[in-house]
Structure 1
């Protein structure tokens, strides 16, 4: 049972963390249909949550796995989780590289909404001799 738990923890880090980060990065670079400002903020908040959870789990899962493997005396899994910290550094490096190439911040960005501009409620004079009707 302990090997199954440690294996599940390792594969959750190995496949789950990159999945969360890739989905978050794809969402960050996409142009979603957000008809209102609230929908744009909700889309941005969900994307921020995916990226933040992925970055936290990137270091938390190997640390917990290393601790648990040490407590139960599983030397093989201790080595796996020890080497996983090299992968942690590579994942952080890849996310930092993506963040440096992005035009806006990876976390804390809300996409533009497609809400139409409010109608003009006053007369705006146009050049070319045309003025506002009635004065």
Structure 2
């Protein structure tokens, strides 16, 4: 049972973390159809959640696996999780490289919405010589 748990933890890190990061990066680099500001905010929040979760799990799962493998006395899984630290560093470097090529930050970005600008229906004159267009 402990081997099954350690294997699930390792393969969750090996396949789950890159999946979350790839989906988050694809969503971040794409131009979504967001007709309203609320939908753009929700799209950005979901993308941030995917990237943040992937980055956190990338650091936590190998440490947790190494601790559990050491506690269970599993030398094979301890070696697997020790090598996983190299993969963790590679994933962080890859995300940092993509982040350096992006036009804005990877986390905290809200895409532009497609709402039209509000139509000005009333002119309020401002002192200083700028009057209303058309009189």
Superposition TM-score, scaled by structure 1 size:
0.91
Aligned residue in 1 for 2:33: 33
Aligned residue in 2 for 1:89: 89
Q: Specify every segment of 5 or more residues in structure 2 that has no aligned partner in the other structure, as ranges.
A: 124-132
Q: Is 2:69 the counterpart of 1:69?
A: yes
Kindly provide the CA deviation profile for residues 9-29 of structure 1, in whole angstroms up to 9, marking residues without a partner as x.
000000000000000000001
Q: Which runs of structure 1 show a deviation greater than 6 angstroms over 4 or more consecutive aligned residues?
A: none
Q: What CA distance in whole angstroms lies between the structure 2 residues aligned with 1:3 and 1:121?
A: 70
What is the CA-CA distance between 1:119 and the residue it aligns to? 1.1
What is the CA-CA distance between 1:120 and the residue it aligns to? 2.2
Matched positions, count: 126
Aligned residue in 2 for 1:16: 16
Q: What CA distance in whole angstroms lies between the structure 2 residues aligned with 1:72 and 1:100?
A: 40
Q: What CA distance in whole angstroms lies between the structure 2 residues aligned with 1:62 and 1:83?
A: 9
Aligned residue in 1 for 2:107: 107
- Secondary structure (helix, strand or coil) at the match of 2:96 reads helix
Q: What CA distance in whole angstroms lies between the structure 2 residues aligned with 1:32 and 1:61?
A: 31
Q: Is 2:51 the counterpart of 1:48?
A: no
Q: What CA distance in whole angstroms lies between the structure 2 residues aligned with 1:11 and 1:26?
A: 22
What is the CA-CA distance between 1:122 and the residue it aligns to? 3.9
Superposition TM-score, scaled by structure 2 size:
0.91
Q: Specify every segment of 5 or more residues in structure 1 that has no aligned partner in the other structure, as ranges.
A: 124-130
Q: Is 2:1 the counterpart of 1:6?
A: no
**How large is the Cα RMSD of the aligned pairs?**
1.0
Aligned residue in 2 for 1:80: 80
What is the CA-CA distance between 1:83 and the residue it aligns to? 0.5
Q: What CA distance in whole angstroms lies between the structure 1 residues aligned with 2:87 and 2:29?
A: 24
